[in-house]
Structure 1
Amino acid sequence: MSSASVYAPFDKHRGPHPGILAIVHVSLFAGSLLLLGILTAGKGFPNPFVPLVEAQQRLQTFTAVTRINALMQFGAAVPLGLFTAAVTSRLSFLGVNVTGVSIALFGGIGASLLMMLSSLCTWVLCQAGVIDNLSTMHAVQLLGFATGGVAHVVALGLLMAGIAVPSLFGGYTPKWVAWLGLVLAAIAELSTLSLIFAPLMILLPIARFGSYIWLIATGFTLTKNRS
Structure 2
Amino acid sequence: MSATAGTAERRRVQGGPHLGALAIVFAALFLVGLVLSTMLAGGKPYPSPFGDGAGIVAYFRDNPDAVRIGGAFQFGAAIPLAIYAATASARLHQLGIRVPGPTIALAGGLLAAGFLALSGVIGWVLSRPEVHEDPALVRALQLLNFGAGGVAHVVPLGLLLAGVAVPGLLARLLPRWLAWAGLAIAAVAELSTLALLVDGAAYLLPVARFTAIAWLIAAGFLLPRQRGRSET
TM-score range relative to shorter protein: over 0.9
Q: Equivalent residues in 2 for 1:7-46 (5 A)?
A: 10=10, 12-46=13-47
Paired residues in the alignment total: 224
Between the aligned partners of 1:196 and 1:156, the Cα distance in structure 2 is 19
Instruction: Give the partner amino acid of 1:60.
Output: R
Measured after TM superposition, the shift of residue 153 of structure 1 is: 0.6
Cα deviations across residues 177-204 of structure 1 (Å, max 9, x unaligned)?
Answer: 1111100000011111121122111111
CA distance in 2, matches of 1:7, 1:103: 32
User: Could you tell me how far apart the structure 2 residues matched to 1:7 and 1:127 are?
Assistant: 54
SS of 2:13 mapped into structure 1: coil
Matches within 5 A, 1:39-58: 39-58=40-59
**Percent of paired sites with the same residue:** 44
SS at match of 1:129: helix
> 1:61-72 counterparts in 2 under 5 A?
61-72=62-73
Q: What amino acid maps onto 1:103 in structure 2?
A: I
Offset, 1:7: 11
Q: Please tell me whether the aligned partners of residues 73 and 115 of structure 1 are also in contact (alpha carbons under 8 angstroms).
A: yes
TM-score by length of 1: 0.93
Residue of structure 2 equivalent to 1:194: 195
The answer on whether the counterparts of 2:89 and 2:106 sit within 8 Å (CA) in structure 1 is yes
Asked if 1 retains the 8 angstrom alpha-carbon contact of 2:116 and 2:153, the reply is yes
Distance in 1 (CA, whole Å) between partners of 2:45 and 2:195 is 22
Summarize the alignment of residues 110-121 of structure 1 with structure 2, pairs less than 5 Å apart: 110-121=111-122
The match for 2:185 is 184
Conserved in 2, the CA contact under 8 Å of 1:13 and 1:90? Answer: no
In the TM superposition, what whole-angstrom CA distance separates every residue of 1:3-33 from its partner, at most 9, and x where no partner exists? x969955562410001000000001111111
The Cα of 1:52 is off from its aligned counterpart by 2.2
**Greater mean deviation of Cα atoms: 16-25 or 62-71:** 62-71
Amino acid at match of 2:21: I
AA aligned opposite 1:165: V
Task: Provide Cα deviations, 1:34-61, integer angstroms capped at 9, x if missing partner.
Answer: 1122222321222322222211221122
Conservation of the 8 A alpha-carbon contact between 2:38 and 2:66:
no
Query: 1:123 — aligned with what?
Result: 124
Aligned to 1:164, what secondary structure does the other structure show? Answer: helix
1:146-191 per-position Cα deviation (integer Å, ceiling 9, x unaligned): 0110111100010001110010011111112111110000001111
Looking at structure 1, the residues matched to 151 and 93 of structure 2 have their Cα atoms a distance apart, in angstroms, of: 29
Asked if 2 retains the 8 angstrom alpha-carbon contact of 1:13 and 1:93, the reply is: no
- The CA deviation at 1:91 is 0.4
CA–CA distance in structure 1, aligned partners of residues 39 and 48 of structure 2? 17
Structure 2 unaligned residues grouped into runs of 5+: none
Q: Give the SS at the match of 1:205.
A: helix
**What RMSD in Å do the two structures reach over aligned CA positions?**
1.7
TM-score of the superposition, structure 2-length normalised? 0.91
Task: Identify the range of structure 1 (59-68 vs 7-16) with the bigger mean alpha-carbon deviation.
Answer: 7-16
Structure 1 residues 51-100: Cα deviation after superposition (integer angstroms, max 9, x where no partner): 22211221122111211111111101100001111111100001101111
Contact 2:71–2:121 (CA under 8 A) maintained in structure 1: yes
Deviates further, 194-203 or 20-29: 194-203
Instruction: Tell me the residue number matched to 1:98.
Output: 99
